Structure 1
Amino acid sequence: MLFFMLFVLLGLSIFSFYKHVSLMRKKKIMRKWTKGR
């Protein structure tokens, strides 16, 4: 049970990190797009 909880926490942290990275990438792309125009 404890192992399962740890696994879930790890997955959540990875998911949040991935989400943050994707958001940053999107912001960068948007900035580039606006600069291009």
Structure 2
Amino acid sequence: LEATPNSELRVQGMKFTLWGLQALAATNVIALIIQKIL
């Protein structure tokens, strides 16, 4: 079975996007916690 480069790139892009959204959400949560502490 040969995987086409396009589909592989698409999967990598989706993973990277999900990772980015998770990082952004974590940053927002940390910022909210800091605001509540200060």
Give your verdict on TM over 0.5: yes
Displacement after TM superposition at 1:7 (Å):
0.2
Q: Which runs of 4+ in 1 moved over 4 A?
A: none
Cα RMSD (Å): 0.3
TM-score under structure 1 length normalisation: 0.77
- In the alignment, which residue of structure 2 is the partner of 1:26? 35
Cα distance in 1 between the residues matched to 2:23 and 2:30: 11
Q: Percent identity?
A: 24
> Which runs of 5 or more residues in structure 1 are unaligned?
30-37
How many residues end up aligned between the 2 structures? 29
TM-score under structure 2 length normalisation: 0.75
